[in-house]
Structure 1
Amino acid sequence: MTEDINDIKSWKRSEAMRLPGENDDIGAKLSAKYVVIGVSLSALLILGVVFFAKQEQASSAKLRAEKAQNTTVMAVEHGDSSVTGDSAPVASEGEQDLAVNGSASRMRNIERLYEENKLTASDLDFWDMYPNDEPKSVSGSEDETSELKDLGDAQTEGDKYSQYDREQQELPENDGKHTLITYANGSEEWVLINPYLEKNIYDFTNLTMKSDKMAYYQEGKSVSYLGADVSKYNEEIDFASLKGAGIDFVMIRLGARGYGSGQIVLDEKFADNIVKASEAGLDIGIYFFSQAITSDEAIEEANFVIQNLQNLSNYKITYPIAFDMEYVKNDTARIEALSRDQKTTIAKAFLDTIKNAGYKPMVYGTKEWLIKQVDLTKLTGYDIWLSQQEDVPDYPYQFQMWQYTLEGKVSGITGDIDLNISFIDYSEK
């Protein structure tokens, strides 16, 4: 206490001894000191603000980089090309560094999860979440994998062949619904088979040929009949030799209408042929070469046939009387201007007249003529004599006689002869 009083007294003495103006100097020194301190504090404050601003900016940049990386990863996972494509904005160098650091951090987190949870590579494969059009790998031995691959290849090839088969079936030659027509000029046409006409049911594997002689067998027995068609163009014929050579019947031409003049003429050898064929014991049929262009002319031709047969009534006609209308080779026939319907009407007029007279009528023609030149749906009541020089006929409809060659060789005739087989024994009808 005494020391404090002494200090106070000493201070008062010093105050009393201070010169005038000395207090002002001290105050000025103190003011300068405070200014320096204030300025320093202000500078420190500004530096602090700048430092924290930089820190905030760096933090924001880091957040943007991480966000950009997360967006990129999500885009990759979901296949978003709008983010990862060429048009995506390019990050600044600083952002790229932050993205790299962020990616490294993510990788460390994944590694930590892997260590903690013992994850496998398949657990981390997120691509399995999305469909894949590529063939999946097959586990197992090489042999199993090879077998499965071969099976897949076989199925692929099988699909190709199935497609090929379907396409082939669509072709007219394979669909079973068309038949090929060959015209006189060599051109061809696939024609739709009429489903309403009766089809032939012959098994042509049962055909046999020996020395130009055709036969059709069933159960090892011949059920066909061999015939020849003859006219004045065959000149002298030894009908007995024909019979001995295996000929069963003859189709004799009775007459013809001129394809230019239109005149009806009797075959010069008709009477002689019918007499000699009958004497040889051959069955006899007749045919007439028609060039009628009207129904009246067709009826005229039929009546001409009937009249001449009546003149030879002592000779029995056991086989059909055939209507033979056809074009002429290397010349113009008078029937060429006729339509299909007109030819059909003319044929029917001839056939009806023959039938009404008590004879068996028949239509003769090539495959092309029968299918394209007449309408068979209007001639269904008449038998068919098909002319097709092939090993096996491909005429789709029913027929009763078949002229299979124009160049046959048979004892009793000099030169070529037309040979036929009949699937019906008309002598029994």
Structure 2
Amino acid sequence: MKVKAFGTELTSNFTATDGLNVVVVVPTTKVRVRAVDGFGLPRSWPVELIGVAKGNGTIGPVEVLGNGTYTARVLAFGRWFNSTFFAVPGKVQNVSVVVPTALLTVRAVDGFGRQRDWPVEVVGVSRGSGVVGPVEVLAGTYTARVSALGAVFNKTVEVRPGENATAAVQVPTALLSAAVVDGFGSRRDWPLEIRGVAGGRGSVGPVEVLGGRRYVVAAAAFGKNFTEVVDLAPGANATVVVRVPTAKVAAKVVDSFGRQRDWPVEIVGVASGRGGVEPVEVLAGRYVARASAFGREFAVELAAEPGKVAEAVVQVPTAVLNIVVLDDDKKPLDRYVEYVAVGGNSSSKPPRELELLAGRYTIRARDLGKETSSEVELGPGEVKTVELIIPGTAGFDVGGTRVTYSTAAALVAVALAAVAGVVALALRRRRRQAK
């Protein structure tokens, strides 16, 4: 006997007898198919018992022939997921097709572990700002990506079925501040920059930068650039101080007696004045201080060290000369001096406290028509008095006039000669009269 069911012929052999009832048993079973995710939860994805029925989320129970193999499948995430099973007659079978899903959350964090509002994505899945998810994904390997500070940072994430996974993509940031100070440690308002990052005057930051990199901090002062280099680790909060090696220089001009004088003085290329130059800020280094006096220049070097005040003392090698003009009896002839000349100076009176540069000089004097000269050597800081004796000037003063002894002798000789002549003449006259 043949029976056709579910597209299949079933045959049963028997021996005919009177009153025989023949029953052909069709070995059926009932099957219920459902779609579940990686957490075991039913889902409404398209589901199919191949060759039997289709539905959304669940099928059945549907009756099928037993003693056969069937395939149930679910369409999710653009893919088919299959489950093959053997149908046992006389049972109601529940078949679950598991789609191996998981949940994935990705956050963008900085070098200090703080969540940040940077663009973040699970590549090929979803995008967001600061955080993505939780999003449902198939179990597998994914790339989480964050874009920040002009760079892209990736992290590979392995997700297992039924897992609620969280991944943090860390952007290795750090904080960097900069300041500029002078050689004395004082903050200054000079131009300053973290190259390629930010700039300002006096100070910059704190600014957020990528760690694990080298940065150059530069300051500009006195027409030059001064730099510091820093290697910054992720999560660091660093301050870089650029020190401009400044100093202060001053100068004064003194004579050999240590007295400050009102002569022109300068720190070459820096500043000038009379008698002195007040402290001026300069870069550390070597400088020349120069003074002018008596038609000549005098200079000294000074070394300016960072953070110190250096003063240059320019000493002009002076001396003081006193000149006394005397006659042969060493009596003063000041009132009769015609001139006294020394070192380019000439006067009608013998000089007192005459300041000269140290050195050798010739002194010349003229008095009562007579001249004399003398050599003198003056050392720095020396005070010297020179007596000039003019020969042939000894005598006596008559009514404000000097009569030298030689002049007086000549006058006496003339007078005596005149008297002698008168006496001789008188004697001759007397002799004539006696005859």
TM-score by length of 2: 0.19
* Structure number with higher relative contact order (C-alpha < 8 Å, ≥ 6 residues apart): 1
Greater Rg over alpha carbons, structure: 2
Q: Which structure carries more strand by proportion?
A: 2
Q: Which structure carries more helix by proportion?
A: 1
TM-score by length of 1: 0.19
